[in-house]
A and B are shown apart, each in its own frame.
Chain A
Amino acid sequence: MEETNESGQYVVFSIAEQVYALHIDQVIEIIRMQTITEIPEINFHIAGVINLRGKILPVVHLRKRFAMPIAPFTKKTRIVIVHFEGEQVGLIVDEVRMVTLVRDENIDPAPDMFNYVEQECFEGFASTENGLVGILNLKRILLEHISEGEEGKE
């Protein structure tokens, strides 16, 4: 890795005016909205699959994952393709804002005031010149299928 231990590059995007980030190593590419094919009887937050240059990838609707109100897709809507356990998975976000450098010392754990879903989903929070950015815990987001009713379990 080129970065020093103290800082890393993060892809910053927004969902419902809230700002989130993923470490750039986890991100493969960012593409425009695609035609999504729905699949019956799968997890609610998986929007379906897309064709990415001959590969079929599942796409997770982050608004649904975070139990946020569903908004129509716009011109700014993007799919962030990430590495996940040997597969590629797409994440639907409202808008990709930028790629920014965050120093590790500026990352703090999620504050207690957050509810369970939020606590689980964040690796931490970073304060940048653009304000507070939530760094997502990809594994939690993709694997733990928490519904609203299950708050506080574990």
Chain B
Amino acid sequence: MSDMDMAAYMGVFLDEVDEQLQILDEEILNLEQDGENVETIQRIFRAAHTLKGSSAAMGFDNMKELTHKVENVFDLIRNRQLAVNTEIINVIFEAIDYLKVMKEAIINGTLAETNPQPLIDRLEKIRSGADASEPVNAPSSSQKQSDQPEAPVIQFDVYQREVITKVLQDGYQVMAIYIRLVDTCIMKYVRAVLIFNNLKETGEVIASFPSAEEMENEDTFSGEFIYVLATKQTKQEIIQIINHISEIKTVDLTVITSENLEHFCEGKKIQVVQVPLKQEAAAQPKAEQKVKVNPTVRVDVERLEYLMNLVGELVIDQTRLVDVQQRLNNRFDGIDDMVVLGEVSNHLGRVIGELQEGIMKTRMLPIEQLFNRFPRMVRDLGQKAGKDLDFIMEGKETELDRTLIEEIGDPIIHLLRNAIDHGVETPEEREQVGKPRKGRVVLKAAHEENHIVITIEDDGRGIDVEKVTASAIRKGLLTEEAAAKMTDKEKTFLIFGSGVSTAQKVSDISGRGVGMDIVRSNIEKLNGIIDIDTTVGSGTVFSIKLPLTLAIIRSLLVKLADQTFALPLVNVLEIVRLPLNEVKTIKNREVGVIRGRILPLVRLRDRLQIHSSVEENKKRLIVVVVGIADKRVGLIVDQTLGDQEVVIKSLGKYIHVPSYIAGATIMGDGNVALILDVGSIVREEGSKGVAVQEDAEQQVKSCERQLVTFELAGEEYGLDVQCVKDIITVPEITAVMSPPFSVLGIINLRGQLIPVIDMRERFGMSQGEVTKKSRIVVVELQERLVGMLVDRVTEVLKIEEDSIEPAPESGNIQSKFIEGISRFDERLVILLHLDLVLNIEELNDIDVLHYTS
């Protein structure tokens, strides 16, 4: 083949190598699980054979040689001359890995430097070992054989040996045919004779073990015997002939060659792979069927990108066409051709829409492509770590963008390693704590609205938060005081800090100094969110939430001066209107109190240096709360425009990488909008540390309190803003049976059922009407939500701590409810002791049954 031809076929060849190696990887794993599956063995054989053929055709001789040896080993397995065991599987896997190395070498032009000889030798040894019966006593296969009666021993005498040598020279094949009859079979000898007669038609029976006399004795004959046959027919033909006889349990053929004849003369027990004949008979026609694969075409990503751009152009032209059409319509109203133009324009629009969707979908691939790499890896890791594992994968068909598939591989590999190495215990350990010896690792992918969620779950020992914390403190990443303030969840997240590890010893698998911090940064790079859920003793679940695609994202469009920006919607948590007076400056940074949490605020206009002559003087700021991983920041924008799917385009390398900008997109009107890199903004703010936030919280607390104030019967009451979760208009209230004192009923708040209390009744005031101004203040108390019906919510108010006076004796409500009274200007605000006002025990009495009814 000339060099030109080579180049033309190289791509096809390499793709095929990839495909066949993938099949080998998968099927060999199956083989390890089920060493007797004929179909699996056939597929492996075919794959190895294809590889051999194509590498030979391309002239890669050493590759051909290696695949040839692999094929030989499978030939033996296929013909039941070799039992599958871990040792063999390992060597075969090594061979496959080496084929991958060789493939890379072909690409890099360094094939001459590879040397598969050691592997070829080992494969050869397996093959000769099978023929010569060097015991291949795998734990798995020996177990299967142990319940089987001793096979008869072949031992040729001098005469037989000479005969065999001679027929071999004459070009005959010599086979030792091992047959075992069904145990319950009567007249075993007769069957043996029938088989003998059938075999005689195909060649010469040179010997039988035991001898014919021994077989005649029905009492001692076990139904197990070997005929040594000299024939010119193939093994398959011989097996077919034998299959004509019923009640045969097992058949096994071993080829005797001049090389292994000596062993037979010394006496050899045939290594038998037990396969029930029935299964073989059933499986054979199936194995000949071709595996059905959906026809696919490999497409260059660049070509797809190009098509996508063309569609983009079409979309823009379409909008312009509609525009022109409308203008013409005004001028030439009533002309027939205008109707045609309208029809064409409409149809074009529809086609373009579908075209766009179709091309976008083409970029999506099932995650299977990635997942298929893992079983092999998990097996190897498990073996190295001495763990017994069940590896389960779910949701392989889940589709996501191909660039994402490429990027998410590493974090998953790392988490799987982590699960196998640190999560799952050794079989002994598991037995001790009463778990099954086999550990379970589950990898799952699923769509969830606009995201994909990938979870890696193990049923191992879980993460010991105290150990993690101790490690972090030792490494100086954290002070003990800071640790004391942290929740368990926060402590668990410490494992993402660099160098923090719970591994007692550095292992071959994951002690390579690559920490979980890499996982975290990888996921942050993809705009993803990672979460850990762990229980000591029963396991850990890592879940990764990612946008479906990196190329097309759902985004929130916001306006800053006259420019439009897109914020990835995955990162947007909520949009809040924040009154100006709730913006505080702490340590030269603006912070805002949003739902009781102090958030650093970023004025995007300033940050992005957008200058505008129009200074808007609004009373309230629009704050978009964004988050990445566990960090939250409030971004101040001028206006929110709604959400839209946008196609991310790079700005090109000429502009370098501007800060805070992730890329650009083309809007419907053809204008370019910039996509904000929320990650870089959040990271910048977040890096200033939790400490700042804590300080801020303390400062706010020490000098002033923030209250939500409301009116009841003309008096103003106040509650700490931290307790208030929500303020809603009064929805339909469902009454409950025999409610506790002053409980009106329950309402449905975003799927959660919460009780509502009539505050007037609770305070013993006269009943009031529910008016337009009435509100339900939803408060959280002892982790439960409770609604309080009030006349009117007045405002959110800040008061100085020292303006609070003790409660006077008399008043509208009982003084035990009152924490104090704040006086400013002409107003009096009564601060309430929420836990006394709401008797939570009483509320807990509301039967859950009533809730659900």
- A: residues with CB less than 8 A from B are 35, 37-43, 46, 48-51, 53-58, 84-85, 87, 89, 142
In Å, the complex CA distance between A153 and B563 comes to: 38
Interface assignment of B610: CB less than 8 Å from any CB of chain A:
yes
Q: Chain A residues near B653: list those with CB within 8 A.
A: 87
Are the C-beta atoms of B651 and A41 separated by less than 8 Å? no
B668-689: CB near A (< 8 Å → 1, else 0) gives 0011111000000000000000
Contact of B609 among A41, A43, A54, A89 (CB under 8 A): A41
Q: Chain B residues near A39: list those with CB within 8 A.
A: 651, 655, 658, 661, 674
Are the C-beta atoms of A51 and B672 separated by less than 8 Å? yes
Are the C-beta atoms of B651 and A51 separated by less than 8 Å? no
Are the C-beta atoms of B649 and A56 separated by less than 8 Å? yes
Q: Which of B230-238, B305-313, B626-634 contacts A (4 or more CB under 8 A)?
A: B305-313
Of the listed residues B650, B659, B661, B674, the one surrounded by the most CB atoms of chain A closer than 10 A to its CB is B674
Are the C-beta atoms of A49 and B651 separated by less than 8 Å? yes
Contact of A49 among B312, B608, B609, B664 (CB under 8 A): B664
Known A38-B563, A55-B309; contact A49-B655, beta-carbon cutoff 8 A: yes
Q: Chain A residues near B312: list those with CB within 8 A.
A: 53-54
In Å, the complex CA distance between A51 and B669 comes to: 10
Known A49-B672, A50-B672, A56-B672; contact A37-B654, beta-carbon cutoff 8 A: no
Q: Chain A residues near B331: list those with CB within 8 A.
A: none
Of the listed residues A35, A38, A40, the one surrounded by the most CB atoms of chain B closer than 10 A to its CB is A40
Contact of A41 among B660, B664, B670 (CB under 8 A): B660
Which 6 pairs of residues, A with B, have the shortest CB-CB distance?
A54-B312, A37-B672, A40-B608, A54-B309, A54-B313, A53-B313
User: A54's closest neighbor in chain B, by CB?
Assistant: B312
Contact of A56 among B608, B610, B651 (CB under 8 A): B651
User: B309's closest neighbor in chain A, by CB?
Assistant: A54
Q: Chain B residues near A51: list those with CB within 8 A.
A: 316, 666, 670-672
Are the C-beta atoms of A42 and B658 separated by less than 8 Å? yes
In Å, the complex CA distance between A46 and B661 comes to: 15
Of the listed residues B311, B313, B610, the one surrounded by the most CB atoms of chain A closer than 10 A to its CB is B313
A-B contact pairs, 6 of them (CB 8 A): A35-B670, A35-B672, A39-B658, A39-B674, A40-B658, A51-B671
In Å, the complex CA distance between A50 and B654 comes to: 14
Of the listed residues B309, B655, B658, B670, the one surrounded by the most CB atoms of chain A closer than 10 A to its CB is B655
- Give 6 new A-B contacts, CB below 8 A, not counting A39-B655, A40-B609, A58-B654: A35-B671, A37-B673, A37-B674, A53-B316, A58-B651, A89-B654
In Å, the complex CA distance between A124 and B402 comes to: 48
In Å, the complex CA distance between A4 and B533 comes to: 73
Known A54-B310, A54-B316, A56-B664; contact A41-B658, beta-carbon cutoff 8 A: yes
Interface size on B, residues (CB 8 A): 30
Interface assignment of B652: CB less than 8 Å from any CB of chain A:
yes
In Å, the complex CA distance between A55 and B312 comes to: 9
Interface assignment of B290: CB less than 8 Å from any CB of chain A:
no
Contact of B656 among A40, A42, A54, A87 (CB under 8 A): A42
Q: Chain B residues near A53: list those with CB within 8 A.
A: 309, 312-313, 316
Q: Chain B residues near A85: list those with CB within 8 A.
A: 654
**A92 smallest CB distance to B (angstroms):** 15
**A125 smallest CB distance to B (angstroms):** 27
Contact of B610 among A40, A54, A84, A89 (CB under 8 A): A40
In Å, the complex CA distance between A41 and B503 comes to: 44
In Å, the complex CA distance between A87 and B649 comes to: 14
- B: residues with CB less than 8 A from A are 309-313, 316, 563, 607-610, 649-656, 658-661, 664, 666, 670-674
**B320 smallest CB distance to A (angstroms):** 12
Contact of B660 among A40, A43, A55 (CB under 8 A): A40
In Å, the complex CA distance between A10 and B707 comes to: 73
**A37 smallest CB distance to B (angstroms):** 4
**A96 smallest CB distance to B (angstroms):** 22
**B153 smallest CB distance to A (angstroms):** 75
Q: Chain B residues near A54: list those with CB within 8 A.
A: 309-313, 316, 666
Q: Chain A residues near B313: list those with CB within 8 A.
A: 53-54
In Å, the complex CA distance between A87 and B656 comes to: 12
Q: Chain B residues near A87: list those with CB within 8 A.
A: 652-654
Q: Chain A residues near B609: list those with CB within 8 A.
A: 40-41
User: B562's closest neighbor in chain A, by CB?
Assistant: A38
User: A49's closest neighbor in chain B, by CB?
Assistant: B672
Q: Chain B residues near A35: list those with CB within 8 A.
A: 670-672
**A82 smallest CB distance to B (angstroms):** 11
User: B607's closest neighbor in chain A, by CB?
Assistant: A40
**A116 smallest CB distance to B (angstroms):** 23
Of the listed residues A42, A56, A85, the one surrounded by the most CB atoms of chain B closer than 10 A to its CB is A56
Q: Chain B residues near A55: list those with CB within 8 A.
A: 309, 649
Are the C-beta atoms of A84 and B666 separated by less than 8 Å? no
Are the C-beta atoms of B654 and A41 separated by less than 8 Å? no
**A57 smallest CB distance to B (angstroms):** 7
In Å, the complex CA distance between A56 and B309 comes to: 10
In Å, the complex CA distance between A43 and B312 comes to: 28
Are the C-beta atoms of A37 and B652 separated by less than 8 Å? no
Are the C-beta atoms of B664 and A37 separated by less than 8 Å? yes
User: B670's closest neighbor in chain A, by CB?
Assistant: A51
**A26 smallest CB distance to B (angstroms):** 15
**B353 smallest CB distance to A (angstroms):** 16
User: B317's closest neighbor in chain A, by CB?
Assistant: A53
Known A37-B563, A41-B609; contact A46-B659, beta-carbon cutoff 8 A: no
Q: Chain A residues near B649: list those with CB within 8 A.
A: 55-56
Are the C-beta atoms of B652 and A56 separated by less than 8 Å? yes
Of the listed residues B316, B563, B607, B672, the one surrounded by the most CB atoms of chain A closer than 10 A to its CB is B672
In Å, the complex CA distance between A91 and B659 comes to: 23
Q: Chain B residues near A42: list those with CB within 8 A.
A: 655-656, 658
**A135 smallest CB distance to B (angstroms):** 22
In Å, the complex CA distance between A51 and B674 comes to: 12
In Å, the complex CA distance between A90 and B326 comes to: 32
**A27 smallest CB distance to B (angstroms):** 17
Q: Chain B residues near A57: list those with CB within 8 A.
A: 652
User: A60's closest neighbor in chain B, by CB?
Assistant: B654
In Å, the complex CA distance between A102 and B776 comes to: 82
In Å, the complex CA distance between A142 and B652 comes to: 14
Of the listed residues B313, B607, B654, B658, the one surrounded by the most CB atoms of chain A closer than 10 A to its CB is B654
User: A40's closest neighbor in chain B, by CB?
Assistant: B608
Contact of A142 among B654, B656, B660, B673 (CB under 8 A): B654
Known A37-B673, A37-B674, A39-B661; contact A58-B666, beta-carbon cutoff 8 A: no
In Å, the complex CA distance between A100 and B286 comes to: 75
In Å, the complex CA distance between A39 and B651 comes to: 10
**B505 smallest CB distance to A (angstroms):** 47
Are the C-beta atoms of B671 and A40 separated by less than 8 Å? no
In Å, the complex CA distance between A49 and B665 comes to: 11
User: A143's closest neighbor in chain B, by CB?
Assistant: B654
Contact of B659 among A40, A48, A49, A142 (CB under 8 A): A40
Known A53-B313, A55-B309, A56-B649; contact A37-B655, beta-carbon cutoff 8 A: no
Are the C-beta atoms of B672 and A46 separated by less than 8 Å? no
Q: Chain A residues near B310: list those with CB within 8 A.
A: 54
Q: Chain A residues near B316: list those with CB within 8 A.
A: 51, 53-54
Q: Chain A residues near B664: list those with CB within 8 A.
A: 37, 49, 56
In Å, the complex CA distance between A17 and B652 comes to: 32
Q: Chain B residues near A56: list those with CB within 8 A.
A: 649-652, 664, 666, 672
In Å, the complex CA distance between A89 and B658 comes to: 17
In Å, the complex CA distance between A35 and B312 comes to: 17
In Å, the complex CA distance between A49 and B655 comes to: 9
Q: Chain B residues near A49: list those with CB within 8 A.
A: 651, 655, 664, 672
Q: Chain A residues near B309: list those with CB within 8 A.
A: 53-55
